[in-house]
Structure 1
Amino acid sequence: MEASTIGIFDSGYGGLTVFRSIADKLPDYNYIYLGDNARSPYGDHAFDTIYKYTLECVEWLFAKGCHLVILACNTASAKALRTIQQRDLPAKYPDRRVLGVIRPTAEVIGGYTSTKQVGVMGTRGTVNSQSYLLEINKFFPDIQVFQQSCPMWVPLIENNEHLEPGADFFIEEYCSALLQQSADIDCVLLACTHYPLLMPKLKRVFPDHINILTQGEIVAERLLDYLERHPEIAEKLVKQKERHFYTSGDPAVFDEHASVFFGETLKSDKM
């Protein structure tokens, strides 16, 4: 039986927050993380470009021995996942699997709202794709989804300015714009893997009764469930607790920023 590693892909650093939760939930497996930092951010790229970049990175992870790849990137999940699953895998990689972060979140979000009114905060690309609205509606047709794009949040986080007082204006602006759409929103999904780093400020801005959801723990829990339901995938996965990090950008720059997202010092290699 061919041994396999779990691959985790993101356009840059944000997917490390998802990886952190996955590694905490399933610590024994081998992992390869790939950040496409040289071509990030993905949020404002055209559909075809995001698909092309994502497929190239997925195929690189396949070549590294990954039979299961998690797109820990909302933009890639929204704009590339379906085509990869429906076209590329059956044609070229029938024994490989690629999963995203949107569907696992949509499957459970109904358990976090009483008013059935949910807010989604994400990049322009994720919001414009309507992916969360469509996926949530599949599982919970009675839930109303209100979306708000937050174009300044990722640049603030990646320049390590997100906890400075200067970031407060943009945090309050987008949160207020979301809540103005409905006074009954009681659950807000952070639909970008960068956004958990804003949690201390978001908790101060949003009223206490609003559930603020990050994707990492949800995706980790759903991945565990997926492996239990698919033993043919799980039995291939190696459990040696190895973690390797790669970037398409400068490894030294990646390492400097990545520790903020992953919560510990790490060393990456060039893709």
Structure 2
Amino acid sequence: MKRPLPQIPGPIGVFDSGYGGLTILSKIREVLPQYDYIYLGDNARAPYGTRSFEVVYEFTLQAVQKLFEKGCHLVVLACNTASAKALRSIQMNDLPKMDADRRVLGVIRPTVESIGDMTQSRHIGVLATGGTIKSESYPLEIHKLFPDIQVSGMACPMWVSLVEYNEAQDEGADYFIRKYINQLLEKDPLIDALILGCTHYPILLPKIRQYTPEGIQVIAQGEYVAHSLEDYLRRHPEMDAKCTKGGNCEFYTTEAEEKFIESASTFLNQQIDVKRVSLE
């Protein structure tokens, strides 16, 4: 039998399958430094991008439950695959049973809301994992808000691995980055804005910009997610009151602590302590 969830105010939870969500966390902490945060990376079972809807949902639900148990009333899924494959089910089916007053937010909607003013041609490209592209979450969300925008997606195998294995700046990365950008632009030469639909991809930004033609805007998610969260807390003072404000951040991983600390240095310019947890 599960223990009752703590009801006193607690930190904001940020979850990702691996390290990519640290790019989101960094931007959130820039915009909202006063809050407390818990970051949880399911590094032992990453990547999620190639896994089925059922497995991503199961893993994500376990992570949300863990963050709730640690006192979070609000959890951000800083992972496009989890946002695409699990968010809606958790919001509709699980939250009412777990605690109807808690909230889980994703990264796709805030990104989509920002693009209306960024495209003149009304042709958008999405670079993401195979799982996110296959889910069609971006076209579906974009067409709800902007039915006139044409959306073309391209799965980018290898990009997450380039980041996770600290090869983002290596010459070998150039081939894979150029390849998928070129393939996407061949699908639709009218694209004038590119959404980076994976939280790992901002680490590749220098090379992505190098191989993206001039006049095409590259949209990284962190800034938009951070400002969307700021707006959400302003509009929901009852949730804001449940979020503690001490400027602290704790880190948890399902992998070895040493491995997380070493790889996290790619994403964070600070020394961190991390604890290992099990989600199963």
- Following the alignment from structure 1 to structure 2, what is the Cα–Cα distance between the partners of residues 15 and 250? 18
Q: Per-residue deviation at 1:185?
A: 0.6
What are structure 2's unaligned runs of at least 5 residues?
Answer: 1-6
**Alignment pair present for 1:218 and 2:220:** no
- CA deviation string 1:163-187 (max 9, x = no partner): 1111111111000001001111110
Q: Say yes or no: does 1:77 pair with 2:83.
A: yes
Identity %: 53
Deviation at 1:7, TM superposition (A): 0.2
What is the CA–CA distance in structure 2 between the aligned matches of 1:156 and 1:236, rounded to whole Å? 38
Alignment of 1:9-158 (within 5 A): 9-158=15-164
1:172 aligned to 172, 178, 197, which one?
178
| Shift in Å, 1:68 | 0.1
**Aligned-partner residue type, residue 210 of structure 1:** I
C-alpha distance in 2 between matches for 1:263 and 1:136? 34
Corresponding residue to 2:187 among 150, 156, 181:
181
User: What are the superposed Cα offsets for residues 193-240 of structure 1, whole Å, 9 maximum, x if unpaired?
Assistant: 000011111111111211100000000000000011111100121111
Q: Secondary structure at the match of 1:223?
A: helix
CA distance in 1, matches of 2:48, 2:40: 14
CA distance in 1, matches of 2:10, 2:236: 14
Aligned mates of 1:212, 1:266 — CA distance in 2 = 30
Secondary structure of 2:18's aligned partner:
coil
Alpha-carbon deviation of 1:2? Answer: 2.1
Give the conservation status (yes or no) of the 8 Å contact 1:19–1:262.
Answer: no
**Higher alpha-carbon deviation: 13-22 or 87-96:** 87-96
Find the residue that maps to 2:177 and give its secondary structure.
helix
Q: Which structure 1 residue ranges, 5 or more long, are not aligned?
A: none
1:266 equivalent to 2:272? Answer yes
Which amino acid is 1:4 matched to? G
TM-score normalized by structure 1? 0.98
Contact conserved, 1:67 with 1:96, CA < 8 A, in 2? yes
TM-score (norm 2): 0.95
Q: C-alpha separation between the residues in 1 aligned to 2:201 and 2:241?
A: 34
Aligned equivalent of 2:13, options 7, 11, 31: 7
**How many aligned positions are there?**
271
Q: Distance in 1 between matches of 2:11 and 2:44?
A: 24
Question: Which of 217-226 and 200-209 deviates more?
Answer: 200-209
Query: What amino acid sits opposite 1:167 in the alignment?
Result: A
